[in-house]
Amino acid sequence: MKKILVTGGTGFVGSNLCKRLLDEGHEVLCLDNFLTSSEETVHDLLKNKRFEIIEHDIINSFSSDVDQIYNLACPASPPYYQLDPIHTTKTCVLGAINMLGLAKRTGARILQASTSEVYGDPEVHPQNESYWGKVNPNGIRSCYDEGKRCAETLFFDYYRQHKVDIRIVRIFNTYGPNMDPNDGRVVSNFIIQALQNKDITIYGDGSQTRSFQYIDDLVEVMVRMMNNEKGFTGPVNTGNPNEFTIKELAEKVLKMLPESKSKIIYKELPQDDPKQRQPDITLAKKELGWEPTIQLEEGLLKTIPYFREKIEKKESVKASN
C-alpha cells in the first residue's frame, strides 16, 4: 500500500483515478480547490477510510509525506481555463513548482498530466513526442497551452538538476462518466444537446479531427506510467489513434439517440482551434505495453447514461423547487 497524492482529485480524470487507486488498496489524499469541480464526483469514495479530501489550491505550497504524486490540477476545458487565464497559468507553473518541491523533499515519484495542447495547431500528423509543436504564445488558449509546456520544462529541470523521479503523460481528448456537463468539451456538448433536443453546435465546417479516448484507458496508462520501473520519464502520448471528424462524432451521437429531435448547425470556428488531433502511440506501446481497448461507440454507450442521469436529476430538482 502506498500513500498517493492526487491534485485536482475531484475533477473528471482525478475522480476516476482516485477510485482506481483505492480499488488497488492504496491510501489516497485528494487535493482540490473546487473551482471547476465538487465533492459530488467522489461522494461514493468518502466512506472509504483510506480516502481523504483536502480543499487546497496548489498555487500555494503544500506538505505531506507521500510516496507518489499525480499532478492533475488545472481546468482542462477552454471555457473554464479561459475564465481566469492568469490563475490557469499560475496553476500550471506555480503548481508544478510546488508539487515538484514536495516530490524533492519527500523522495516521491511525481507524474504530470500534460496535454496534446502542447502541440498547438500541429503541422505534423499524427503527433509524436519528438514534435515540438506550433503554439500561439499570445492567444486566448495560451494560458493553458503555454502553461502546460512550461510545466513540462520545470519537470525536466527538476529531473536534471535535483534528480526528482518524474513521469509525464500527454493526454489527448478524453471522455466518460464524471465529466462536468457544462465544461464545454465536444463529447459532453453533443450528448447533452442531443438529450435535450437542442441544436448540435459544430464550430467551423466540422472537418477538423479529434481522437477520442475513454477514461478507463487513460487511467490505465497513467497507472502504468507511474509504476514503470525502467526509469522511463516520457513524455508519452496517451489517446486513441482512431481519428474522427467533429461532424462524424455528432452523427454518431445522433445515431445512438434516435429519439432525439436535434439538428446539426454550424458556427464560426474559435481562435487557435486545432484542425487536427491524432496521437502517435508507438512509444506507449513500446515502453508500457499499452494501447486503448475501448473504441468510440462502446465508450459513448457507457457515457450517455451518465449524462442522461445528470439531466434527469437536474430537472427533478428544478421541478421540486
* Residue 77 in this model has a pLDDT that exceeds 90: no
* Residue 270 in this model has a pLDDT that exceeds 90: no
Q: Is 81 a residue of the active site?
A: no
3 state DSSP class of 203: strand
* Residue 185 in this model has a pLDDT that exceeds 70: yes
* Residue 126 in this model has a pLDDT that exceeds 90: yes
* Across 189-216, average pLDDT: 94
Going by pLDDT thresholds of 50, 70 and 90, the confidence category of residue 183 is confident
- The one-character DSSP state at 4 is E
* Across 109-136, average pLDDT: 95
Which pTM does this prediction carry? 0.94
Q: What is the pLDDT of residue 269?
A: 82
Q: Name residue, grid cell 480524470.
A: 13
Show me where the domains of the chain are located.
3-173+214-241+277-293
Q: What is the pLDDT of residue 315?
A: 80
Burial of 77 (0-12, 13-18, 19+ CB in 10 A): buried
* Active-site residue, from 70, 80, 119, 144: 144
Mean pLDDT (the chain, rounded): 95
* Residue 75 in this model has a pLDDT that exceeds 70: yes
Going by pLDDT thresholds of 50, 70 and 90, the confidence category of residue 272 is low
Q: What is the pLDDT of residue 28?
A: 98
Selected residue with higher pLDDT from 232 and 276: 232
Query: What is the C-alpha separation between 137 and 125, in angstroms, rounded?
Result: 21
* Residue 273 in this model has a pLDDT that exceeds 80: no
* Residue 321 in this model has a pLDDT that exceeds 80: no
Q: Are 178 and 16 in contact (CB under 8 A)?
A: yes
Tell me, what amino acid is at 33?
N
Q: What is the pLDDT of residue 78?
A: 87
Could you tell me the three cell numbers for 137?
Answer: 504564445
| Homologous superfamily assigned to 3-173+214-241+277-293 | NAD(P)-binding Rossmann-like Domain (3.40.50.720)
Burial of 6-44, coded b for 16+ CB within 10 Å and e otherwise, reads bbbbbbbbbbbbbbbbbeeebbbbbbbbebbbeeebbee
Going by pLDDT thresholds of 50, 70 and 90, the confidence category of residue 258 is very high
Going by pLDDT thresholds of 50, 70 and 90, the confidence category of residue 211 is very high
How many Cα neighbours within 13 Å face the side chain of 1?
A: 9
For 149-177, how does the pLDDT look when each residue is reduced to its tens digit (9 = 90+)?
A: 999 999 999 999 999 999 999 999 999 99
Q: What is the largest CA-CA distance in the chain?
A: 59
Q: What is the pLDDT of residue 274?
A: 74
